């Protein structure tokens, strides 16, 4: 049986936010396993609900319609008042920037901003072409623009965790320690 950490049983849903490429999905899966929770990725849920890839949906319907669909999916996962087991949710990079979605996340989950360095993120996201906002001539300039616009908004998250260099488990451990510190402030 996988190790379960104490944090699992007295926190609400956990939502990982941050720039594309910081590792929200990988860290989220590992965190959920450690906490004995179900894991969801909002982009995967959007693709399942729409029958389209995120890039295809973006291309065909535009960012505004994508954000509206993303809000519906996230609301279904964490926004319901129905009592259900707490989950770990990895959100898309822009989810938290959309105010109605951000309000749902802040009201119904513990939001954790995974902070990454632009060089690390650029190296990671350049491995594939699945990032619709980076389908531009100068992806670095676009990332810098996104950082400038999004970092103040990401800063509204309840917890901030810089991603660790090396194996993702280091960041998972940082997240768990940060949650425990956050919880101790409310005891």
Total count of domains within the chain: 1
CATH number of the domain at 164, please.
Answer: 3.40.50.300
Residue 116 is assigned to a structural domain of this protein = yes
Note whether residue 34 is domain-resident.
yes
Burial 161-183 (b: 16+ CB within 10 A, else e): bebbeeebeebbbbbbebbeeee
Asked if the structure places residue 186 within a domain, the reply is no
Judge whether 4 lies within some domain: no
Q: What whole-number percentage of the chain has pLDDT above 70?
A: 84
Domain enclosing residue 29, as ranges: 15-180
Residue 102 located in a structural domain: yes
What are the pLDDT digits (tens) for 125-155? 766 666 655 666 777 888 888 889 999 999 9
Q: Please state whether beta strands 38-41 and 87-90 pair in parallel, antiparallel, or not at all (unpaired).
A: parallel
* 103 domain-assigned: yes
pLDDT score of 187 = 59
What pTM, to 2 d.p., does this model score? 0.88
Q: Is residue 108 part of a domain?
A: yes
- Whole-angstrom Cα distance, residue 74 to residue 36? 20
Are residues 4 and 37 in contact, defined by beta-carbon separation less than 8 angstroms? no
Backbone angles phi, psi at 77, to 5 degrees: -75, -40
Q: Cα 17–12–146 angle (5° rounding)?
A: 10
Please report the DSSP string for 124-163 in residue order.
HHTT-S--GGG-SS-HHHHHHHHHHHHHHHHTTSSEEEEP
Look up residue 81 and give its two tokens. 């008042």
Q: Model confidence over 21-54: pLDDT tens digits?
A: 899 999 999 999 999 999 999 999 999 988 888 8
Residue 3 DSSP SS3 = coil
Q: Which two tokens stand for residue 105?
A: 């996340």
Q: Is residue 29 part of a domain?
A: yes
């Amino acid at each position: 049986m996988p190790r379960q950490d104490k944090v699992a049983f007295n926190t609400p849903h956990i939502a990982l936010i941050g720039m594309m490429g910081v590792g929200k999905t990988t860290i989220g899966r590992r965190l959920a396993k450690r906490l004995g929770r179900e894991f969801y990725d909002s982009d995967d849920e959007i693709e399942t609900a729409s029958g389209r890839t995120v890039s295809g949906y973006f291309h065909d319907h535009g960012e505004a319609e994508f954000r509206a669909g993303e809000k519906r999916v996230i609301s279904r996962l964490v926004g319901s008042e129905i009592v259900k087991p707490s989950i770990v949710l990895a959100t898309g990079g822009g989810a938290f920037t959309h105010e109605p979605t951000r309000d749902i996340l802040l009201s119904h989950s513990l939001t954790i901003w995974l902070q990454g360095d632009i060089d690390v993120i650029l190296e990671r996201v350049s491995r594939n072409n699945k990032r619709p906002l980076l389908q531009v001539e100068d992806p670095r300039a676009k990332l810098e623009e996104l950082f400038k616009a999004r970092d103040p908004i990401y800063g509204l998250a309840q917890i901030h965790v810089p991603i660790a260099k090396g194996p993702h488990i280091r960041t998972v451990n940082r997240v768990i320690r940060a949650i425990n510190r956050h919880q101790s402030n409310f005891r």
